[in-house]
Structure 1
Amino acid sequence: MATSSGKYSPELRAEVVRVVLEEGRTYAQAARDFGLIPETVRHWVKGEREKNPATTERAQEAVDRAKVSEMERRIRELEMENAFLKKAAAFFAKGSQ
């Protein structure tokens, strides 16, 4: 990961910044995944946001849209499970009378 001068490659920096901005990982999660210090990750992300504010806003919007889609999918799934459980409860209540 680190070169002999103690600096990280631009590719590593870009990948770490990408997982924070696009995948929504925290600084600590990204640091743990890549064997870095969270403050280093925070510094890299801050620098990227200052360089490209429009890009990072779009990335965050994409992450937010993905989260909303996942939550909507989960809500539909839970509603179906709830309906099934109501029917099962009614069936067993009817059978015990």
Structure 2
Amino acid sequence: MFNWLMDRIPSISVNELNSRISKEITILDVRTSSEYGGGHIPMAKNVPLNKIDRYNEQVGTIYIICQSGVRSRQATKKLRKKGYEAINVRGGMNQWTGKIRGGK
């Protein structure tokens, strides 16, 4: 009856993520390795979307980012089904204004 509630994916903006950045959070960048190499959040770990099903690290909350927010939403949904506390980052790297490692 209320299945739409189960499909809701928790998300935050890139600004909210930037305000939470510390050594204590886990960020997964689900873009391809070449996209990741072109510039990424310094503490983000690259786990491309096509490999997210194999992710099995024991961590607390995971923040998931991609280029625009589409792939990260898919990855967040998959990880939540596996029992992870995963949160999608809306807008992705297209809207990220914080520090970047690699790339340009």
**Larger strand proportion, structure 1 or 2?**
2
Structure showing the higher helix proportion among its residues: 1
Structure 1 and Structure 2 fold alike (TM over 0.5): no
TM-score, scaled relative to structure 1: 0.24
